[in-house]
Chain A
Amino acid sequence: MRKMFSILLLAILMIHFGGIDSLAIAQTAKRRKQIAANQPVTFKSDRIDRVQKLVTDNKFLEASIELYQLKKDKRLDQAQVSYLLGLTLMEQGYQQVAAMQFIDVIRRGKNKYVRSALNRLFIIADLLGEDSIIHYAVKKIAGDDPPAMALDPFYFRQGEYFSDNGNVKGAIESFRKISSKSPYYFLGQYKLYLSYLELNQPQQALAIAERMLRMANNQSDRHLMLLAIARAYYQGKDWEKAIRYYKMVPRDSLYWPQALFELSWAQLRAARFRSVVGTLQTLHSPFFENEYNPETFIVRSIVYVYICRFDEAEKTLMVFDKVFGGYVKKARSFYLSHKGQLRAYWDEVRKASLRLEGKNSQSHDGQIPYPIMKSIVTSGEIQKLLKYIIRVNQELARWESDGKLKGHSIFSYGRKVLSRRLQVAQNQVAKLAQYALERKIEDWTDLQEQAQFVMYEVVNGKKEALKAIISGVSDKQSDLDHDKQREFYVNNGYEYWPVDTEYWLDEIGNYHYMGKQQCR
């Protein structure tokens, strides 16, 4: 591969510096050397010769150093030099620095290297997984021929680009073009499924998910598809089938907590109130104490109101306010005192990420409560950027430790490029985190309003119950559940026993609420 690349690179060098019109020269090493020795050149210098020789000898690093110096030579075609520099850097795995060379070629406007540079840039962008570079490349390639050597990644990224820009139909068209043999196929089909859901076409989405479930060749994909099928049924308002598929996501799956949360909604829509509370009992167990899920407490309180367990509803709302109100209070205080301070947001993200990866202690020393930060940091966009930051950091570390680069002007240039990219990416993460926090604070206000509505129903329900007692319709004051005791039982399918303050790993997911509805 490396040899092939050097042949290609040499051919390009000779074509452009030597005036050769055909790429057919790039066949064998022997032939290449003959060509290098015999062909006439239109512009020749010792330095070009040296670059040619370095590439022939697979000395890409030295070639990069030479080429970077050639960038200052105004007599040369700078688009050409940047393109070649990009190729040599790419060969050494310096993807981000190489990307800047290709972008430089593209920005220079119409020249004969633009198309090749775009193709290379797209390949790098796909490897780096950074949206702004991907979108830049995809946007530039649009209307032109897609890169032949990366057709499937291109269609996948193009689909994502369309999807991000609200062009769902365009996204569907792109995702459909991905070859079934491509590593991008599964993810592409999943994105296709999501696009159909976005278009509110759950039947098409369901068909894709069912097909992908049969094709899934690992447990994680299989679980994702079970979740996908359940979601399609949910969107199609087939609650019972949705419940069945949500329950098929096994407990050891990474998707299980999400499946549980969505299951509770499906059970609520199917009016299986007791089941909802049982499901939420799991989500409200201490095993999920680091999850920011205030909505589930509202759902739980609504269920209690439905079954006239007003004291239970009140208690749930109290927990909702005490736990999440405390979180939001701290988050709001941070938000108000750090407006526009991206560095502070980046620090919060970094601390939460370290804890998420298990590299930090379990005590969170950030100013924003960890459950909120966890929900922010685990969002797709931030995760994508964090992975990009890791890659750039790795590239920077490798660049700085490369002894042969030190002392050359390209060394400080590369360091500057990588540092700048890191800074930009960190600022992007910080902005996303700030925006997400802002949304959470806004959402909290909405949730509080909903909680107040439920509380109103609680008070009203209690009043009606008391009226019934006073008027003699009911004299069972004990029905009002004054002791606020919850009756939960654990069932593992064969035996059952009461939940008794402590929570066991092998019990969660098996809770059954035994309280009966008390409406009269």
Chain B
Amino acid sequence: MLFNVMLFFLITFSSLEVSATELFEVPEEELTKEVVLPRFDRLEMVRRPKVTFKNRFEIGVFGGAVFTEPIFNPYRYGLEGGYHFTENHSVSLSIAQWMSGLNNQYASSIEAQGGQGGDRYDLTRAPSPRMSYWLFYNLKAYYGKISLSKKDVLNMSLYTQLGVGATSFEHKTYPGVAIGIGQRFYFSPSAAIKLEARLQYQGSVNPFIGNQKLKKNQPKPSYSEFSDHQRFGTIIELGFVWLL
């Protein structure tokens, strides 16, 4: 899905590029081939940046997936809000709602391992995740721009994240930590698409208890019978952000 989105953008911008190329001609001798940078009293790569961050709040919506979640539905969506203390430092808080159900790709084959009919495993008996709450500290590493169409310019920022948070399951809430990297593309001084990738380490429920108890023809186990375990998870999120 993500690949399709990116492909869409690339195709769109590539088509614009053709029309922009026809706009002008610059004499060859006027084209600069230098790679050195001018020297000024203060070393600043950009003056009057189009997107400024300092003392600005932001809100956003996002959707994403925990790609290492084999049992439960890995997709989730949520809201986020943040505040930029400086041009480079910010904090953000995100709240995500997990989609209900099981992982379509793997869960049915795991369930089938129990047998047919009443012997089939029922993974819905395990407590599933409901909400995630994360607080991130973000450090902007790079602010730049890109012109894919040669007619328009997109600003972008690359940042790293450190986060602490928790994920609540039906019976219990588990804490966790995360590190991540994010990239934003600004369509205007206030609106951006964001793409974030994170590695998180957090507590979770182990859905595999004594196999017989997961079988449909067996009495439903209580949530307290499920053990806890710590695990790594990889997350990718795509969203829209508005700087206020």
Give residues in A with beta carbon < 8 Å to B: 250-254, 256, 275, 278, 285-287, 289, 356, 358, 362, 489, 491-493, 495-498, 500-506, 508-510, 512, 514
Contacts and interface: CB of A to CB of B under 8 A. Distances in A.
A interface SS class: loop
Contact of B24 (A358, A493, A512): A512
B31 interface: yes
Given A251-B38, A509-B38, A502 B48 contact: yes
A505 B153 contact: no
Contact of A503 (B33, B34, B47, B155): B47
A287 B34 contact: no
Contacts of B50: 500-502
B26 interface: yes
Contacts of B155: 502
Given A491-B31, A512-B24, A501 B38 contact: no
A287 B49 contact: no
Contacts of B39: 252-254, 256
User: Interface of chain B, helix or strand or loop or mixed?
Assistant: loop
B45 A504 contact: yes
Given A491-B31, A496-B26, A509-B32, A286 B47 contact: yes
B43 to A, nearest CB: 8
B150 A250 contact: no
Interface residues of B, number: 29
Interface string B43-86: 01111111000000000000000000000000000000000000
Contacts of A252: 36-39
Given A252-B39, A498-B152, A505 B45 contact: yes
Given A287-B47, A504-B45, A506-B45, A250 B36 contact: yes
A278 B145 CA distance: 21
A251 B34 contact: yes
Nearest to A490: B147
Interface in B10-25: 23-24
Contacts of B36: 250-252
B220 interface: no
Contacts of A286: 47-48
Contacts of B9: none
Nearest to B41: A358
B48 A275 contact: no
A491 B37 CA distance: 14
A167 to B, nearest CB: 37
B40 A287 contact: yes
B151 interface: yes
A367 B145 CA distance: 38
B37 A506 contact: yes
B34 A250 contact: yes
A498 B153 contact: yes
Given A497-B150, A509-B32, A502 B38 contact: no
A501 B48 CA distance: 7
A410 B127 CA distance: 95
B23 A493 contact: no
Given A256-B39, A502-B47, A505-B45, 11 more contacts: A251-B36, A358-B41, A489-B24, A498-B151, A500-B153, A501-B50, A502-B145, A504-B46, A505-B46, A509-B38, A512-B30
